[in-house]
Amino acid sequence: MKIRTRAFLLGLLPTLLVSGVLTAYHLHSRLTDLEATAMQRGSAVARHLASSAEYGVFSGNRAALGKLLDQAMAEPGVASAAVIWPDHARLVRGEPLGRLPPLGQPAQWEAEMRVWFAHPVMLSSLEGNDLFVEEATTASAPLAWVAVSIDLQQKRALVRQLLLASLAITLLGLTLAVLLIHRLALTGLQPLMDIIATVKRISSGGFGSHMDVTARSPELRELQFMVNRMSESLRSYQEDMEAKVRAVTAELEHKRREAEQASLAKSRFLAAASHDLRQPMHAISLYVEALKPQMRGRMAAGLIDKIERSINGTVELFNAILDVTKLDAGVVQPRLAPVRIRALFLRLAEEFAAEAERKGLSLRVRAPDVWIESDVILLERILRNLLSNALRHTARGGLLLSARPCRGRLRLQVWDSGSGIAPEHQPRIFDEFYQAATQDGEARHGLGLGLAIVRRLARLLGYPLQLHSRPGRGTVFSVDVPVLASGPDETAEAHDQGGATLDGRALVVDDDPAILNALGHLLRQWGMQVALASKLHQLADVSEHEPDVVLADYQLLDGETGLMVAREVRQRWGAQVPVVLITGDTRTETLRELRLSGYPILYKPVRAEQLRGVLEKLQRERPPRPAEG
């Protein structure tokens, strides 16, 4: 309720209450007085009429009685007057008599909107020695009865007049009270209302709002003055703060630009460093793969295997960083195809069996022999990262790679009996570089990117990813994938995958002599004819015949790129010659450009089995070459 309304009611309600009480008291006292007066008048008229009618009743002089009744009717409020004899004879003036109760002693009653007063007529004294009078006085019964009625209608009319008069007086009093309240109370509240309005504007941000000092009360005038001072102080403070905010914003903008430049420089440095580091790693991995057949059966074969494992671990770290970069750049797009889930699980179990056995863990597979639709490379990377994470954090017990139907999809799960993940770590377990502390104090491994890549790949494929873990009991990761009603022709697939052998001519373009030498040596071991080139203009010199595949590094000397090599190959030999681009450049713009080119891409350091798989796929897709004449 507003303060003006409260002030108005505060002044009006007491006036209304007092007026109502006084009106009720006045009406009640007035009506009581009127009623008492009417009763007294009626009783007095009846007694006087009974006394005056003694002789007329005794002598039977109706004319005299009639005059007495007329005199009674002249009294105010008398509606009727009557003389009633014991034989029920009546002499009436005024309104006719109704049904009267039995007459006895002086009585009073109400009937037919009137009040009746009855009084007996008795002989009260003897006049002379009249024998008849003397005999009559010996009788104790009344000679007759007189009855006088007072009309109640007049009383009611008077009541209405009193009510109207009281109401008029009350309304007049209330009108005067309203005027006084408005003049004295509400007008005095206007300065307070101005203060409230000004404070509202200030609270809404209108610093500097001003009001006129109009209050007559010294207290309100001082309050208005102080509110104006407060508003000016707030406006001044706001201007100071805005100036400071502008200065801080400009400084932050400058710092942001510096940070962006630093981040850009860091990204360029990391990209360049990544490329420079990948080059020798790529060459080493190719040399190791080329040495393995030559060292088979010798004592150094074990050392080669250890070197290969170390290289593969370093390659995994590089690939993890590269995967995050590629996913963030949006250059990875899924290529959906039928995938036989049990075959995929068995292949992964075989890959991780040696490591599980080394740690004394069991690795089991439970999966139906069904087909799903997915990108086999991306899905395999998800499961491989989950298995690697489970092996890393499991010291006893085992792992379970399972698949089961769930709500119309196939739920792929990786179970472990490891240390588990505490509830406070679970929301952040998929963040980059985040490694939760283990329950058993196990040393941390890797960069903390494996699960971050899993989440990115699951989102890319549109697969729901779930985590359930109990500290000390183990963890389960779940991925839901769509199921195919039927798979492709297994016989044809087995035929395609079975007898693939490498042959044909390969053209390798790279500006690093070590990589050229290692890759050329490895391809020759696989049975291919190899031509090597380090620059774009050497393509015609080193390859007299059309190659079956071109392996080109993306970043060459003198600003040349693998895309330039691909365009030169198309101009020279046509689009039927496949080009595979190999890069160690992790810059976002480079990855996006390579993705948009549509050529197959391998990222350094390239595993030998990955390279061989690409070459075998291209060989299967290659049309038959006409015989050379």
Sheet strand arrangement including 549-553: 529-533, 505-509, 549-553, 579-583, 601-603
Q: Each residue of 475-494: pLDDT tens digit?
A: 999 999 998 876 665 544 44
Q: Which residue has the higher pLDDT, 587 or 379?
A: 379
Between 91 and 114, name the one with better pLDDT: 91
pLDDT tens digit sequence for 128-164: 444 344 444 444 678 888 888 887 666 667 777 777 8
Cα–Cα nearest to 59, from 26, 92, 35, 83: 83
Task: Decide: residue 56, CB within 10 A, 0-12 exposed, 13-18 middle, 19+ buried.
Answer: buried
CA 295 → CA 486, 514, 545, 626, distances in Å? 45, 20, 34, 38
Confidence of residue 452 (pLDDT cuts 50, 70, 90): confident
Gap between the Cα atoms of 228 and 246, Å rounded: 27
**pLDDT value at residue 132:** 41
Residue type at 206? G
Residue 146: phi and psi, rounded to 5, are -110, 145
pLDDT at 598 over 80: yes
DSSP 8-state symbol, 98: -
Q: Averaging pLDDT over each range in 81-95, 202-216, 403-417, which range is the top one?
A: 403-417
What CA–CA distance (Å, rounded) separates 616 from 594?
A: 22
For 2, 191, 212, 263, 591, the CA distances from 203, given in Å and listed in that order, are 19, 18, 19, 43, 53
Task: Calculate the average pLDDT of the chain.
Answer: 77
Q: Can you say whether the dihedral through the CA atoms of 336, 326, 284, 550 is positive or negative?
A: positive
What residue spans define the domains of the chain?
3-159, 333-488
**pLDDT higher than 50, residue 508:** yes
pLDDT of 445 reads 53
In tens, the pLDDT along 373-383 reads 888 878 888 89
* Predicted pLDDT at 125: 44
Q: How many CB atoms lie within 10 A of CB 476?
A: 17
**pLDDT at 299 > cutoff 70:** no
Residue 399 near residue 390, CB atoms below 8 Å? yes
Task: Read off the pLDDT of each residue in 600-604 and give the average, rounded to a whole number.
Answer: 82
How do residues 327-372 score in pLDDT, each as one tens digit? 655 656 777 888 899 998 998 888 888 888 888 999 999 999 899 9
Amino acid at 192: L
Which CATH number, 3.40.50, 3.30.450, 3.30.70, 2.40.30, labels domain 3-159?
A: 3.30.450
Q: Please enumerate in sequence order all residues whose Cβ is within 8 A of that of 121, keeping only pairs 6 or more positions apart, or say none.
A: 50, 53, 54, 57, 83, 142, 143, 144, 145, 146
What is the bridge-based pairing of β-strands 505-509 and 529-533? Answer: parallel
Q: Which of 136-140, 398-402, 405-409, 607-611 has the lowest mean pLDDT?
A: 136-140
φ, ψ of residue 481 to 5 degrees: the values are -125, 155
Instruction: Examine domains 3-159 and 333-488 and report if their fold is the same.
Output: no
Tokens matching residue 486: 């039927």
Q: What is the mean pLDDT of residues 410-430?
A: 83
Percent of the chain with pLDDT over 90: 9
Superfamily for 333-488? Histidine kinase-like ATPase, C-terminal domain (3.30.565.10)
Q: Who's near 554: CB < 8 A, 6+ residues apart?
A: 561, 562, 563, 581, 582, 583, 585, 590, 594
